[in-house]
Amino acid sequence: MPRPEQKLINLTIDGREVQAVEGSMLIDAAKQGDVEIPFFCYEPKLGEPVGACRMCLVEIEGIPKLQTSCSTPARDGMVVNTQVERVVDAQNAVIEFLLVNHPLDCPVCDKGGECPLQDYTFGWGRGRSRVIEPKRHFVKPLALSPLIAIDRERCILCYRCVRFSQEISEDWQLIFTERGAHTFVGTHDGHPYVAPFSGNIIELCPVGALTSQPYRFRARPWDIEGAGGICTLCPSQCNVEFTVRDDKVTRVLARENPGVDDGWLCDKGRFAYQAIHVDERITEPLVRDESGELKPAGWDEALQAARAVAGHRGRTAALIGGQASNEEAFMLGRIVREGLGSRDIDSRPRGSVELDLARALAAPALQAGVQDLEFAHTVLVLGTEPLDDSPILDLRIRKGVRRNGVKLAIASARPSALDPNSELSIRYAPGAEAEFLSGLEWAFEHPGSGPTHDLAQMLRDGGEDVVILWGESLPAEALATLLRIADKLGLAGRDGAGLLEVPTGTNSRGIREAGALPNAGPGYSEVDAGRSAAEIAEAAIAGDVTALYLFQVDPVRDLPGRARWERALANATVVVAHASVLTDGIAAHADVVFPAESSAEKEGTIVHPDGRLQRLRSAIKRPGQVRAGWQVLADIAKATSVETGVLTAGMAFKQLVAAVPFYAGLTLEEIGGRGVRWPETEAAAAMPAGKVPASATPGSSGTQAESNGHLRVGTYRSIWASPEVDISPALQFTVAEQLVELSPEDALRLGIEQGAAVQVAQNGTRLSGRAAIRSGVPVGTAFLAAGIAKDSANALTENLVEVVKA
């Protein structure tokens, strides 16, 4: 779908000649002439203007009544006045009306000092009050949710928060109730406003009506500084601004980047900053002593202990978690390959992908950008649940459907939150991704009917700009088919079309590009292939791998095959870990634990799934004994006789750029605060070409074992499944637990009621959870949560389970 063209026109505002984009609202056009027009309700991100606050009234010559500049598009030759008497009178009037009931409790208001109502009252009000009538008074503040406090006295009913709930997150939970001056913001029947993006309303509120429970009364605006950063809690990599007071992050705000986040944050990104400053955080090196206990140690002692890996040349393997930076991945790759003479390094939790295929999937011409989701003709969401896997994309897809008429199709095993917005939703059995895609490929060539054919037709005939958002959970054999489908649709090289991966880890893309793969070096260069993650585990059990280097990853929690990893870690002679929390695997098996940096501390770069290099900058001093990851790695490298010469994060970046041909010429300055998409740069030509394998014989259709009343297992990773959430005090109410999603039919058959305690059993493994009955779950399937601290589905090894009442 072509994006709207922008034409410039001329108009006069307060006597100034102003050039503005045709169709832009006068309130925005006025900024071009340095004319500020005050407003409360206007927020273009929220969709069509509502014109409710009446603060932005202006005079337009030729129109008798004052008009709202937030809803009047600029036209060529318009003459607009904002300083004439009747406009000033109207603005004075609106301010006076707003203050009829606003409590003016600014001294005890959290918004004080950063409050639009304060500023506009000063700038556009009369400066005196004629109101002596009693104001409304109510109990305040009240809890709207565990995260948000509401002060209804202060509310000016600007519509922003309810529009967010209705137009952006589309959860339709936050509403106006009653009418007229009695109107108030609330929810249905006393239910809390708990939704994945609820925190955005705090930032949208132009007064102190909605305040953050964790931030309330923590600071005044003059106590704080803002520091730009990136949230690294998921692959969305939203741009944020850390509010810093006394070297502590006290709040996270959105830092709008249309190419990344559109100015929104999920509640995990907004509130899990608390994990930076809690006691559970590891802030000093730990070394396991003779008694087998992890004890705080000095850096010298810890580094000395970690240098033990040097004694395991050729038998050391490394795993890297998604929160590592490109530089860290690159340096660790050098340590493993050059220093330790090993080939075993991996960052993919689900098995490796052939180099040719991996290159083809990362081909610059095939990469869709985040904004393409918004303007495509058709978007196919394949094998991922954006709300859980990359939440901010959920909002972007909704926006495309709502505002631009993007046609949405969903193909997944598990019902999706986006199903109601889609034209077509297809369910396949968990693990049957490859068969599904083969069927789709076949449907392109052969006439027929049914959902797969409908999808083929939708993709082929619905317009050229097709974006396929696919999840890393797709098995390797499905990926070749995916590429062939992309080829059939002509997505390569087409602006506004392409593939966009939702990887498991935040910086999975950058880590791979930096060479942390068993079969590829920096820049997808060819290397002698080493072991994949799963093979590393087997090798460790077999004794072929004797030392493990775990960089911000706990395989026991994060990777499939929990029991296998427990044995592998137990079997290894040396386990060195970088971690910020003592998760199960680290606590039980690590010999040395280096405190890892949080994203508010780290200096470095990461790569967004769409190829945008983004820069992490340190916003606060590293707490306690925490050292920079690159610095620790440089020390370890030295012990393995690799002289990196890295003395700053910037130097590490330069070495990375030198090693990855398609990053050539990039500088930190250029990446700046907005990032640079390398697939759009000239250097992208240096990306080695991949090959799309020819059509393979249809994969074995995974003959199903006799179910015998057991349920087939699908897994999901909730948005809340993260160690940072586990230790953030404000998010305790939402810490992910084992919710076993069942179809109503199976629940009825098994006599299980909504919310009941259940046991999930398989081969002697037992997990406890609670039943979540959900229409749309296919009969015969149960979906289990993975990535959680307790009872995680990664303990299961087979694809059938028995679910019983506990």
Partner 1 sequence: MSAIDRRPPVKRYEHGSRVPGWDEAVDLTKPPATVPDPALTPVPEELRAAIEAEMAKYPDSKSASIPALHLAQRHHGWCSPEAIDQVACVMRLTPAYLTSVASFYDMFYLQPKPSNDVFVCTNITCSLLGADEFYAAMSQAAEGHDVSVRGFECLGGCDIAPMASVNGEYVGPLHLDDARLIVEDLEAGRPVLEHKQLRHRACADPGAASSAGAPDSVPPNPAAPEEPR
Partner 2 sequence: MTRHLLFDRIDEPGLNTLSVYEKRGGYGALRKSLELPPAAIIEEIKQSAIRGRGGAGFQMGMKASFLPKGDMAKYLVCNADESEPGTFKDRELMQKSPHTLIEGMIITTFAAGIHHAFIYIRGEYQLQADILDAAVAEAEAAGYLGEDILGSGHSLKLVVHRGAGAYICGEETGLLDSLEGKRGNPRLKPPFPAIEGLYHGPTLVNNVETLGTVPTIMNMGGGEYAKIGAQGSTGTKLISVSGDVQRPGNYEIELGTSSRDIIYGLCGGPKEGRKVKMWFPGGSSSPVLLEQDLDLAYDFDTMAKAGSMLGSGAIIVIDDSHSAFEVAQKVVKFYTHESCGKCVPCREGTNWTQKFLARIESGEATPMDLDILASVQTQIIGNCLCVLGDAMAMPIGSIVVKFRDELEAEIEAARERANAPIYAAA
Between 7 and 65, name the residue whose CB sits nearer to partner 2: 65
In the complex, what is the shortest distance from the CB of residue 415 to partner 1, in angstroms, rounded to a whole number? 11
In the complex, what is the shortest distance from the CB of residue 804 to partner 2, in angstroms, rounded to a whole number? 44
- Residues 381 and 469: beta-carbon distance below 8 Å: yes
Residues within the interface to partner 1 (CB under 8 A): 134-139, 141-146, 149, 152, 171-179, 181-182, 184, 186-195, 213, 420, 733, 744, 747, 754, 773-775
Among 12, 22, 75, 97, binds partner 2 (CB under 8 A): 97
- CB contact set of 677 (below 8 Å; sequence gap of 6+): 259, 367, 369, 608, 610, 611, 612, 613
- CB contact set of 726 (below 8 Å; sequence gap of 6+): 581, 735, 789
Residue 193's binding partner among partner 1, partner 2, none (Cβ under 5 to 8 angstroms by kind) is partner 1
Kindly indicate which of the ranges 94-102, 356-364, 540-548, 571-579 contains the residues binding partner 2, using the contact rule CB under 8 A.
Answer: 94-102
In terms of Cβ atoms closer than 10 Å to its own Cβ (0-12, 13-18, 19+), residue 73 is: middle
Between 50 and 308, name the residue whose CB sits nearer to partner 2: 50
Residue 473's binding partner among partner 1, partner 2, none (Cβ under 5 to 8 angstroms by kind) is none
Among 84, 131, 647, 804, binds partner 2 (CB under 8 A): 131
Residue 683's binding partner among partner 2, partner 1, none (Cβ under 5 to 8 angstroms by kind) is none
What is the CA angle 791-794-799, rounded to 5?
A: 110
- Site for partner 2 contains 384 (CB under 8 A): no
- Residues 762 and 802: beta-carbon distance below 8 Å: yes
Kindly indicate which of the ranges 91-99, 274-282, 305-313, 354-362 contains the residues binding partner 2, using the contact rule CB under 8 A.
Answer: 91-99
Residue 55's binding partner among partner 2, partner 1, none (Cβ under 5 to 8 angstroms by kind) is partner 2
Residue 90's binding partner among partner 2, partner 1, none (Cβ under 5 to 8 angstroms by kind) is partner 2
Residue 94's binding partner among partner 2, partner 1, none (Cβ under 5 to 8 angstroms by kind) is partner 2
For residue 673, count other CB atoms closer than 10 A to its CB.
14
Smallest Cα–Cα separation from 779: which of 710, 725, 698? 710
Ordered strands of the 316-320 beta sheet: 294-296, 286-288, 592-595, 574-579, 547-551, 316-320, 345-346
- Site for partner 2 contains 420 (CB under 8 A): no
- CB contact set of 278 (below 8 Å; sequence gap of 6+): 727, 728, 729
| C-alpha span between 415 and 696 (Å, rounded) | 29
In the complex, what is the shortest distance from the CB of residue 183 to partner 1, in angstroms, rounded to a whole number? 9
Between 130 and 446, name the residue whose CB sits nearer to partner 2: 130
Among 30, 78, 94, 331, binds partner 2 (CB under 8 A): 94
Between 97 and 299, name the residue whose CB sits nearer to partner 2: 97
Place of tokens 């694809």: 799
Place of tokens 């949208």: 204
Smallest Cα–Cα separation from 82: which of 179, 9, 15, 155? 15
Give start and end residues of each alpha helix (H) in 462-527: 476-488, 508-513
Residue 89's binding partner among partner 1, partner 2, none (Cβ under 5 to 8 angstroms by kind) is partner 2
- Site for partner 2 contains 182 (CB under 8 A): yes
Residue 425's SS3 state is strand
- Site for partner 2 contains 55 (CB under 8 A): yes
For residue 493, count other CB atoms closer than 10 A to its CB.
11
Tokens for 18? 């102003």
Q: What is the DSSP letter of 678?
A: G
In the complex, what is the shortest distance from the CB of residue 69 to partner 2, in angstroms, rounded to a whole number? 12
Residue 187's binding partner among partner 2, partner 1, none (Cβ under 5 to 8 angstroms by kind) is partner 1
Between 68 and 165, name the residue whose CB sits nearer to partner 1: 165
**Binding residues for partner 2, how many (CB under 8 A)?**
35
What is the CA angle 352-306-277, rounded to 5?
A: 85
In the complex, what is the shortest distance from the CB of residue 38 to partner 2, in angstroms, rounded to a whole number? 12
Among 17, 61, 89, 105, binds partner 2 (CB under 8 A): 89
- Residues 435 and 701: beta-carbon distance below 8 Å: yes
- Site for partner 2 contains 50 (CB under 8 A): yes
Residue 65's binding partner among partner 2, partner 1, none (Cβ under 5 to 8 angstroms by kind) is partner 2
Smallest Cα–Cα separation from 783: which of 768, 795, 771? 771
- Residues 413 and 474: beta-carbon distance below 8 Å: no
- Site for partner 2 contains 90 (CB under 8 A): yes
- Site for partner 2 contains 207 (CB under 8 A): no
Residue 733's binding partner among partner 1, partner 2, none (Cβ under 5 to 8 angstroms by kind) is partner 1
Q: In 3-state terms, the chain is what percent helix, strand and coil (to 5)? A: 35, 20, 45
Residue 142's SS3 state is strand
- Site for partner 2 contains 183 (CB under 8 A): yes
Phi, psi of 172, deg, nearest 5 = 50, 40
Between 193 and 594, name the residue whose CB sits nearer to partner 1: 193
In the complex, what is the shortest distance from the CB of residue 420 to partner 2, in angstroms, rounded to a whole number? 16
Among 5, 85, 133, 669, binds partner 2 (CB under 8 A): 133
Q: Given the rule CB under 8 A, which residues bind partner 2?
A: 49-55, 57, 65-66, 68, 71, 89-90, 93-94, 96-98, 100-101, 130-131, 133-134, 156-157, 159, 176, 178-183
